[in-house]
Amino acid sequence: MSIFNKRFIDPTPPYFGLDMSELSIKVLQMTHKGRYDSVYAFASEKIASGLIDNRDIKNIDAIVSAIKKVRKKAGISTKNVICSLPESKAFIRIVTIPQMKDEEVTEAIKWEIEAAIPLPIDQIYYDWQILDRRLTRGNGQIDVVIAAISKEFVNNFIHVLKKAGLTICGFEIESVAQSNSLLRNDEKGVTTMIIDIGDKSTSFIITVDN
């Protein structure tokens, strides 16, 4: 499963973003004109306590109903959705591997995942992205960020979204989605901190060169 700004399918607009928390379900659709993005539609729907617990969906039918309701409230007609995944359910690691050909990196990452992620590789969806290629004491090294999340957790989300009649264009971990939406791609040499203050937790996201 792709996590780093790639999709299951080519998400040809229009599509909308969906966020599900223990307190509410939010939808957002953007529109692009020229150089700028603007909000086309937004709505939020509070949900009863216990329907989502510790970010796990406990009542599928109630959440499906809430998704349909909030989508209708926002006036969103497209069924194409990109859904956020909670940071608390993901494993994100930065690893360093020796310099190698691109086609060899994929196999090397599998070994790194087995060492860095506390779940069997056949029980997770994972993705990776090269951060930097550098020389250290004459030896080439590659810094790679790895993201992984339980298949059981994501498959539950997939079941809910399909039951709501939606077409899944992709998933993004919350911190990745926030960075992609708030920061410009051409910002180099810039270190940025994003602080996300929620009802039950606060996240600090630090990015370098976006």
Burial 29-39 (b: 16+ CB within 10 A, else e): bbeeeeeeeee
According to the model, what pLDDT value does residue 9 have?
Answer: 45
Residue 108 structure tokens = 């090397």
> Is residue 129 predicted with pLDDT exceeding 90?
no
Instruction: Report which of 148, 199, 202, 193 is spatially closest to residue 173, judged by C-alpha positions.
Output: 148
CATH of the domain at 133: 3.30.1490.300
5 falls within a domain = no
60 & 31 share domain: yes
Burial 61-93 (b: 16+ CB within 10 A, else e): eebbbbbeebbeebebeebbbbbbbbbebbbbe
Structural domain containing residue 144: 88-150
What is the per-residue pLDDT across 36-86, written as a single tens digit (0 to 9) for each? 778 899 999 999 999 999 899 999 999 999 999 999 999 999 999 999 999
Q: How confident is the model at residue 185 (pLDDT cuts 50, 70, 90)?
A: low
125 & 21 share domain: no
- How far is Cα 13 from Cα 143, in angstroms, rounded to an integer? 33
Cβ-based neighbours of 122, under 8 Å, separated by 6 or more: none
139 & 40 share domain: no
32 & 68 share domain: yes
Instruction: In the chain, count H helices and then E strands.
Output: 4, 12
82 & 158 share domain: yes
> Is residue 136 predicted with pLDDT exceeding 60?
no
80 falls within a domain = yes
160 falls within a domain = yes
81 & 130 share domain: no
> Is residue 210 predicted with pLDDT exceeding 50?
yes
Q: How confident is the model at residue 7 (pLDDT cuts 50, 70, 90)?
A: very low
How are beta strands 80-85 and 56-57 bridged, if at all? unpaired
According to the model, what pLDDT value does residue 192 have?
Answer: 86
CATH of the domain at 36: 3.30.420.40
Cis preceding linkage at 13, omega within 30: no
The number of distinct structural domains making up the chain is 2
Cβ–Cβ < 8 Å for 150, 123: yes
